[in-house]
Structures are given as structure tokens and as C-alpha cells.
Amino acid sequence: MAKTQLNVRVDETTAEAARRRARQRGVSVNRYIEELVQRDAGEAGRTFVDAAADFMKQYESVFADEFRGDPVLGPRPRPEGGR
């Protein structure tokens, strides 16, 4: 994957913390920052998946009622005038 240069400005305390953490992990500051951003972006995806799972669990019975029946033939016919 091609790399793009990104310049950021941070205070010296933050810069030193980044250097120290990168050293502790045995990676470059560049790699350390890259991993932080990737992890942060991944958390947004996990939050969405967790929310979707909670939604499905909360409405499981509604979905079961709606899609009950043979998995190949599909849902059972509804009674006349039913939703």
C-alpha cells in the first residue's frame, strides 16, 4: 500500500509520550500513530456491530414472528387482513 505523508503539530509533552510509547512497543513513532488511528477506526465499526447485535436481540421475537416458516419456502402466509 502506498504511504502518504501526514504532518501534525502536537505539544512537546504529547510528542515525548508518543516517542516513549513507541520505544516501549519496539516500533517507530510513525507505526505507533498508524496503529492508534487504525484501532480508533476499528472501534467505530465494533460500536456499530455491537449496537446492531443489541437491536437484533431486543427485537428477536418480532423477527421470528415475521419470518417464521420453512427456511427454503419463506414465511408462512398471513391470515386474511393480517399484518
Q: Where are the domains of the chain?
A: 12-69
Q: Quick one: pLDDT at residue 28?
A: 95
pLDDT at 46: 77
H helix count then E strand count, the chain: 3, 2
Q: What is the per-residue pLDDT for 16?
A: 96
Is 29 in contact with 37 (CB distance < 8 Å)? Answer: no
Average pLDDT value for the chain? 82
Spans of the chain below 50 pLDDT: none
| Alpha-carbon distances of 73 from 34, 67, 80, 81, rounded to whole Å | 49, 11, 19, 21
Question: For residues 76 and 69, is the Cβ–Cβ distance under 8 A?
Answer: yes
pTM value > 0.75: no
